[in-house]
Amino acid sequence: MEIGIRILAEDKFSNFFRSGWNVFDFTIVAVSLIPIGDAQVVWVARLVRIFRVLRLITYVPQLRIIIDTLGRAIPRIGYVVLLMFILFYMYGTLGNMFFGKINPFLWGNVSISMLTLFRVLSLEDWTDVMYETMEVYPLSWIYYLSFIFLVAFVFLNIMVAIVIDAWQEGRIDQEKDIRSGDDLLKHEPIDSRLTTLENRIEQIEKKYQI
């Protein structure tokens, strides 16, 4: 009923679907109302209904700004993530080569080594991993510190900078929309003043028969 009222409120039926948020809202509601009999498909339908909570985004402007910011930032962050993956692979390969015999559980192969590096990146007991390898390779601290400096300090901060930049772009666009609306509002009293002046001029012309 709500979707129907919102569609009727538009001047044209197609205008409702020009907004991406309206399409998202309509899709969530439509899929959740499809009558399905199969048990597994019903489970999927119930799972889709959970996403109806996301409809709150369409009603809270601040949440929409955050989602728009993520939409702007994710394509740029993708390149940073790709470069981070390359570094993970390089450091994971080195870790497997040098530390694989020290602790096969943490450095047994490249994939496990990359998982260990993610633990190091999260700074969760990473010193225990470092001290274990330093018993065999005293200079292995260079390996860990260089990885943390490059990935944790540099690339993660680059991601934060990208999100902030996307947020500022969204705020600038929003301010432009507000300013354009303000300009339209400013013209209203001017038009009314012009109408008043025209009426006075007509009265003067009639009075003095100009």
Q: Are residues 31 and 115 in the same domain?
A: no
Last residue of a domain, one of 59, 77, 99: 59
Helices 126-134 and 110-121 meet at what angle, rounded to 10? Answer: 120
Q: Are residues 190 and 164 in the same domain?
A: yes
Distance CA 9, CA 197 (A): 37
Q: Are residues 76 and 158 in the same domain?
A: yes
Residue-level pLDDT at 155: 87
Choose between 205 and 161: higher pLDDT: 161
Distance CA 48, CA 58 (A): 17
Last residue of a domain, one of 59, 91, 108: 59
CATH number at residue 110: 1.10.287.70
Q: Are residues 39 and 72 in the same domain?
A: no
Residue-level pLDDT at 16: 83
User: What amino acid is encoded at 194 in this protein?
Assistant: L
pLDDT in tens, 147-200: 999 988 888 888 888 888 888 887 777 667 656 554 444 544 555 556 666 777
DSSP line for 140-160:
GHHHHHHHIIIIIIIIHHHHH
Q: Are residues 76 and 169 in the same domain?
A: yes
Last residue of a domain, one of 33, 59, 85: 59
Q: Are residues 2 and 105 in the same domain?
A: no
Number of structural domains (the chain) is 2
Q: Are residues 26 and 125 in the same domain?
A: no
Residue-level pLDDT at 67: 79
Q: Are residues 49 and 90 in the same domain?
A: no
pLDDT in tens, 33-64: 766 555 566 666 666 666 666 666 666 777 77
pLDDT in tens, 99-145: 999 999 999 999 999 999 999 988 888 899 999 999 999 999 999 99
Q: 145-165 as b/e, with b when 16 or more CB fall inside 10 Å?
A: eebbeebeeebeebeeebbee
Choose between 7 and 107: higher pLDDT: 107
> For a pLDDT cut of 70, what percent of the chain falls above it?
70
Q: Are 112 and 125 in contact (CB under 8 A)?
A: no
Instruction: Match 């570094």 to its residue by tokens.
Output: 87
Q: Are residues 74 and 152 in the same domain?
A: yes
**pTM beyond 0.85, yes or no:** no
Q: Are residues 176 and 88 in the same domain?
A: yes
Distance CA 101, CA 103 (A): 6
Q: Are residues 75 and 124 in the same domain?
A: yes
Residue-level pLDDT at 185: 44
Place 65 in a pLDDT band, splitting at 50, 70 and 90: confident
3-class DSSP state of 19:
coil
> For a pLDDT cut of 90, what percent of the chain falls above it?
28
Q: Which of 170, 195, 186 is nearest to 70 (CA)?
A: 170
Q: Are residues 155 and 193 in the same domain?
A: yes
Choose between 31 and 152: higher pLDDT: 152
Q: Are 95 and 143 in contact (CB under 8 A)?
A: yes
For residue 74, the enclosing domain spans: 62-208
